[in-house]
Structure formats: C-alpha cells, structure tokens
Amino acid sequence: MRTDTATSRTAPDAAPPVPLRRNWRFQALWAGQAGSTLGLQIADTAYPLLLLALTGSSTLAGAFGALQIGAAVLFGLHGGAAADRYDRRRVLIVGDSVRLLACASVPLALALDRLTVAHTLLVAVVIGATSAYTGPTRLIAVRSVVPPEQLRQALAQDEARMSGAGLVGPPLAGALFGLGRAAPFVGTAVASLLALTSALLVRFPGRPQSETVDTNGGTDTSTGASTGASTGASTDGGSLAGYRYLAGHTLLRPTVAVVLLINVAGSAMLLPLMVLLRSQGTSSAGIGLALAGEAVGALAGALLVGRLHRLAGPGVLLLAVSWLTVPVLLAPLLPGGAVTVFVALFTVGLGTPTLRVMIDLLVFGRVSDALRGRVVAATMTVFTVGMPAGMVGSGLLLDHLSPATVLGTVAALLAVGLVPATAGRTLRRADWPEQSAVQAAAPTT
C-alpha cells in the first residue's frame, strides 16, 4: 500500500515529453536520414545515366542498380548483427564516412578525367554495402530518441521524408545533370555529408539492452503475460536470428509475406506499364509524371496514418491495401492513359505510409532491443529482394506476352497469393501493440 501511495504522488510530477517539433535529437537524426535517402534517390538516377553516357550500354547502366541491391542483400546479414553487437553510433559514423568517401571520389575523378566504369561500379557496391549497415542502425537510432506515446507521430513524419525524397530525387538528379556532369554526384556527396554530420552531433543509446524475446507476442521483460511463450535467446542465434524470429512469429510471418507479395507485384508492374504507355504514344515526361502518382499519394497519405490506424486493426488495413493493389494493376488497361495510371497509383500510394508505419510498430516495436538490428535487417532484406525478383519476372513474361497480358497475370497471381492470408484469422484479428498490452494487463474476473 505504501508503494502505491508513493507512486501516485510521484506520477503527477513526471514531466510531459517534449513536443516532437522541439525534440532536436529526433529532428537532427531525421534530417540526416532525409539527406541519406535523398542522396540514394539521386544516385539511383544519376549513376545509370552516367554509365549510359560513358559506354552507351544499357546493360552496364542496369548493372549499377543490380550491384547495389546485391551488395545490400549480401552484407545485410552482417549489418543487422553489427547493430546488435557493436556500438550503434559508431557503426553509423563508420558507414556514413565510407559512403561519403566513395561518393566524393566520383566528382573528383570526373574533374581529373580519370573516372572508369570499374570505379563507378565499385561505388555501387560500396553504397549498397554501407546501406546494409547504416539502414537498420539509423532506423533504430531515430526511434530510440522518441517516447512511446509520440512514436506514431514520429513515424508519420518519417514517411513524409521517404515519400518526399522519392518524389524529388529523380527530377533533382536530372536538373543537376543540366548544370554539369559532375553536379548530381556532388549533390550525392553533400547529402552523405549531412547524414554523417547528424550522426556525429547526436548521441543516442548505442549499446543494445538484453531482453527476452517473445516469438509470438513481443518482448517480455517482466511477467510473460503477452500472447506467447518467451525464449531467452535475444543475444544468441547469430546473423540468421532475425530471419528465424520472423519465420517463427505468428503475426509477423504472414505480415511480412503479404508485404513481400505487394513489393513483387508493384515492381513487376513498372516495366509492362512503361511499355504499354509508350505504345499508346505517351512521352517520356508523361510516363514519368504518371509513375510519380504513387509518391504523391504517399506524401498525402502520411497525413492519414493516425486516422487509418484508428479506423481498423493492422491486419485489416494490410489486407485492404493489398486487395486494392489488384485493380490498380489493371488500371492501365482502362481509357485515359497516363492520367488513369496517375490516379490509380495515387490511390494505392495513400495507403503506403500506413503500411510502413504498421510494419514499424509491429516488427520494430515488439522485438527485443538486443535482437532488433537483425530483425530490422532481415525485414529490409526480404523486402529488397522482392523488387528485383518482380522486375526480372515481368521482363521474362514480356518476352512472350503483351504488356496487357502481363499486367493481368501479375494481378491474378497477387490475388491468388492473398487468398490464404485473407482466409486465415491471424491478420483479421490482429490488434495494435498498445491494445495488446492493455488487454494483457487487464485484470481477469
């Protein structure tokens, strides 16, 4: 009774959290992450264009993205483990420093007229490899400086960063090319410098805390009252522990699988969509504007995250956006050309931030801090692998089928893949972590 009284007296004296806009550590890390993302978006456009100008080979131009993704996947295993085993701030500083040196070497080589194809492709490997280390670490760092009650608001702001960079990056790369051949690569180096500066200025919890992992319901730090039995293997299991956690978690397994399906279908849509619009007489600028619909929708959707999360549970929202993607894949077959495509992509883009924040809350919020880096890396790697898989698959189908038939095939395959997840009860009955915690703590009668 004495403990309860003391608690009741001290609780009102607890200081309220600083408003997010005045949380300088979060805003500084967010600015660094925005710089990193914008730099990657510029690089994804500028480097293939540079290789195309140097060699005239579309194969070498495409090799930049392939090597970047391949390095990110290959080093992703160790990148997550490094975030769990070493000081995260040091991992972030070292990774950003290496990427800055690699990006700065390109405009320097251009100024000296010494840039080679091998040099450019090596930079692709360095960018991909360093993102495997800095990606999970930066995600954890940004979330570690925000109190739990502000997490959803912070994640929504983070989604605005992602969408804004995706919208601004490609045209900015083209505009910088107009200023000079080295300009976009100077811009990429400056963006990398911004990311490194934020890592140097902001201190955040560097060492992961040892906790117990709950493979069904989350992190169990006290009584084990959550939805599953706990396993005391938070710091064991090696680099593959994150994948085993995702595969063994009752809710996260179908969640990640459904998002992977969406990523594969979305990337498979791009090539036949561009071929179809081109056959309808749409200009390159018109195709670019049509494809920007998803980024514009995601930027607007960042404002709807809180409302949509209050509207339904995470599984229901995931299934709703997933099934909405099916008719979007068929929208290019309707009249209207680029305008129809823009509207369809804008519509599905509205739900993208909601799903990303949902994944963040479900995956990153429930996992033990000692395992979080590996789970984050595993999630990012699984989603990354889905994109080239979809592009390669659609390319193979286009060798034998018309663009319209390929889009119809992708839509049908997505619908078939969604049936098991929709028929099951796991996603339809899933609650937000806050609701699960309240239900677990509620007294029984």
Mean predicted confidence (pLDDT) in 345-350: 87
Write the pLDDT tens digit of every residue in 104-119: 999 999 999 899 999 9
Task: Note the pLDDT of residue 95.
Answer: 93
Q: Does the model's pTM come out above 0.85?
A: no
User: What is the signed CA dihedral for 147, 201, 377, 420, rounded to 10 degrees?
Assistant: 40
Question: What confidence tier does 15 reach under pLDDT thresholds 50, 70, 90?
Answer: low
pLDDT over threshold 50, residue 5: no
Write phi, then psi, for 212 (nearest 5 degrees). -100, 135
Task: Note the pLDDT of residue 393.
Answer: 83
pLDDT over threshold 60, residue 131: yes
Task: Note the pLDDT of residue 97.
Answer: 95
pLDDT over threshold 60, residue 349: yes
Write the pLDDT tens digit of every residue in 210-230: 544 444 444 444 333 333 333
Higher per-residue confidence, 132 vs 153: 132
Question: What confidence tier does 103 reach under pLDDT thresholds 50, 70, 90?
Answer: very high
Write the pLDDT tens digit of every residue in 285-307: 777 778 888 888 888 888 888 88
Higher per-residue confidence, 15 vs 291: 291
pLDDT over threshold 90, residue 415: yes
Mean residue pLDDT of the chain comes to 80
pLDDT over threshold 50, residue 388: yes
Task: Note the pLDDT of residue 441.
Answer: 37
Question: What confidence tier does 422 reach under pLDDT thresholds 50, 70, 90?
Answer: very high
